[in-house]
Structure 1
Amino acid sequence: MFAASIATSQICYAISNHNFYELALTILTYSKWPNTSRPIICVVDNPEAATQFQSSIKQLSYDYQVQAINAKDFPKTECHVVYFSTTSPQQQQSLIQSYPSRSLLSLSTNNLACEIGSIFCLYNQNTLSTFKVNLDALSYSKVHIDPRVLILAKNTE
């Protein structure tokens, strides 16, 4: 469940009682891509996270595919979602900009400022997971995010 508020700045955040993987999958339910009904989640440089995603997908009965990939292979891989947990925000930005399609939703667990790089930045805060939305990165992407996920976000400034 999310704490509700209105997004009015370039960076917004919301709170959930889910873990990172469940939170990310919940965000994906508010997303639509052109020409696919079964998005592919590419987990960059973290096979353990890919395994956790697969477990959460099975447990929650979502219809997503997961691939563990290396950052160097990312531009050649078909992805609808990219999940970063070990790359810097600068590396995220570079990889996202080098990706051949702009229909890419990006999530990160190691982007504290959330000013460059991923669209959604996920954090642990005590026993809760939180996320920020980088509206600049979102406007660059051609993924449609239901406005309800943005309404759930809270201005951090």
Structure 2
Amino acid sequence: MLFFGRATARCNSRTMTNQTDPLMKQFHRLFLMSLLFIVSYPAFAAGPSANVRAIVSGIVTYTRWPELSAPPRLCIFSTSRYTQSLTQQSPEALPYQPVVVHSTEEALNTVCDGFYFGSESPSQQSEFTSKYRPRPLLLIAEQNTECAIGSAFCLIINDDRVKFSVNLDVLTHSGVRVNPDVLMLARKNAHE
């Protein structure tokens, strides 16, 4: 079971939550269907930048950190081809707080709840996360098509089409929890 709020909020609003669960499930289904539409039919989308932003926002939205009360800080390596797209919207419009990091050293000294890797290789991703202080981390990679090591979520970008795959081993050890519907969406995309 995923928890969508702080423990105190769950206890105080248990009755209200039970009444809104069907509504939240409908919202989640609608959001996931929208995400699937963007992934499956990129001709109708605004291009790879918008698709990458939508997928990353969707992944972050359905990820829960154990003790996080504010939007997660997503540190985006400046080597990403989509840095501008992932950071340009107003902070209120994004489900995360974007922080651009320009080097591994800078990233190691920045407090982040997740990392978005650009051109860093899967082995560099693994090496970096082993050096980063132990804490729950969401790891997303732009250049990791094999998705065997390094990041939990790996974007597969072909022209305007953007899909993603999931490394369950990395995700299991990441300390974050992700809604199973997102994992099913990645599985569905793997069979296209």
TM over 0.5: yes
The structure where helix makes up a greater share of residues is: 2
Runs of at least 5 residues in structure 2 that lack an aligned partner in the other structure: 1-33, 43-49
CA distance 1:89–1:100, shift in 2 (3 Å)? same
Quick one: distance in 2 between partners of 1:63 and 1:137?
Answer: 22
Which of 1 and 2 has greater Rg?
2
Runs of at least 5 residues in structure 1 that lack an aligned partner in the other structure: 5-14
Task: Report the alpha carbon displacement of residue 93 of structure 1 after superposing the two structures with TM.
Answer: 0.5
Task: Report the alpha carbon displacement of residue 77 of structure 1 after superposing the two structures with TM.
Answer: 1.2
Other-structure match for 1:10: none
Deviations 1:65-124 (A, max 9, x none): 111112122222100110001111100011111111330001111012100001100021
- Code of the aligned partner of 1:52: S
Other-structure match for 2:64: 32
Q: Percent identity?
A: 30
Quick one: distance in 2 between partners of 1:49 and 1:41?
Answer: 14
Q: Give yes or no for the alignment of 1:141 onto 2:174.
A: yes
The structure where strand makes up a greater share of residues is: 1
TM-score (norm 2): 0.67
Select 1:105's aligned residue among 135, 138, 158. Answer: 138
Task: Report the alpha carbon displacement of residue 28 of structure 1 after superposing the two structures with TM.
Answer: 0.6
Select 1:123's aligned residue among 146, 156, 159. Answer: 156
Other-structure match for 1:132: 165
Other-structure match for 2:125: 92
Aligned-pair Cα RMSD in Å: 2.5
Task: Report the alpha carbon displacement of residue 148 of structure 1 after superposing the two structures with TM.
Answer: 1.2
Number of residue pairs matched by the alignment: 147
Q: Give yes or no for the alignment of 1:46 onto 2:76.
A: no
| Structure with the larger RCO, 1 or 2 (CA within 8 Å, 6+ apart) | 1
> Does the residue aligned with 1:123 lie in a helix, a strand or coil?
strand
